[in-house]
Chain A
């Protein structure tokens, strides 16, 4: 083995080879047993100086592991690429459903905004169903309170309004922030 080869191995240990020299070093190491032993000693010195060894365990596991790997498959670039393509894509159906949901949410939001921008104290009559003879229930909003004849309905509407005020628009963000800080402070 020439001195030049050892210098190549020394630079290989340091990860300082590129291009042809890298190829050359790799070729030497994988085909020349003496070069492999030399590389191992250079690596050992480096490991000792950097504190990566313990006791007298100057081990060489390469032959044992190589023997154990004999029956293992040899990878190909295709097998590596195939692994990448194993990522499960979203089904096309998902995008259709997501689009439908987005449209429905937009319509819902517009409807809520429409209700919120109604003038105060405007009466919203609930039209009676013609086939059923039920009394007409009228609901009116005054400020943040609803006036309605039935307490159960009034309570439910109050709850809806509170929930809406909490989550809708910019004010919803602050309400949420208050909840978070309250929880955090407990």
Chain B
């Protein structure tokens, strides 16, 4: 059973805190998706919050026929569209599949709300992460790259790198730990803004 489904079942069984973990896991993505529709970042946060609340209310009906994120994504898109309609603003005519959402939001017209400061901040964070990966030992860097860029499972990485799964887990953790040290300073600055 997937982690998401396990968490959903816990929410369905009355564990509200399991829903916090789902929020924590998907909040960046959902805000990202909604910001593509609602171009004001502050409004986007409100809509994201509304979408998560709607998801909580609807979660007893979730049966796991689709991935949790696909289900949540649909709720987020509908909430964003309803928000625009309520504000008498036209929602985008095109709709996007959850899997294509990342490419969709690379479109320049959907980034117009980005301020130069936020863009710089984003670049700075990305650069810090990539710098940290470059400084990693080769096997550690390979493990995190296979995980994050190629979306491989630990088992697949273990096969590709010809090492035990436990080693993969430990390498990925070491990579994240090194990256974390690099970004903590930037994150602190970002939170102050």
Contact = CB atoms under 8 A, between A and B. Distances in A.
Given A7-B169, A11-B169, A55-B114, A49 B148 contact: yes
Contacts of B49: 61, 64-65, 68
Interface in A68-111: 68-69, 72, 74-77, 79-80, 83
A10 B169 contact: yes
A45 B17 contact: no
A52 B29 contact: yes
A26 interface: yes
Contact of B14 (A10, A65, A76): A76
B172 A77 contact: no
Q: How would you classify the secondary structure of chain A's contact residues: helix, strand, loop or mixed?
A: helix
Given A30-B20, A49-B148, A79-B60, A59 B4 contact: no
Contacts of B119: 55
Contacts of A13: 25, 176
B85 interface: no
Given A12-B3, A61-B27, A77-B12, A55 B118 contact: yes
A61 B45 contact: yes
B179 A45 contact: yes
Contacts of A68: 49, 53
A77 B11 CA distance: 9
Contacts of B14: 74-77
Contact of A62 (B23, B106, B190): B23
A61 B23 contact: yes
Given A22-B6, A65-B53, 15 more contacts: A7-B169, A11-B154, A11-B173, A17-B3, A44-B28, A48-B125, A52-B32, A54-B114, A56-B118, A56-B125, A58-B191, A62-B24, A64-B49, A66-B16, A72-B56
The 5 tightest CB contacts between A and B, nearest first, are: A55-B118, A56-B121, A49-B148, A10-B173, A30-B17
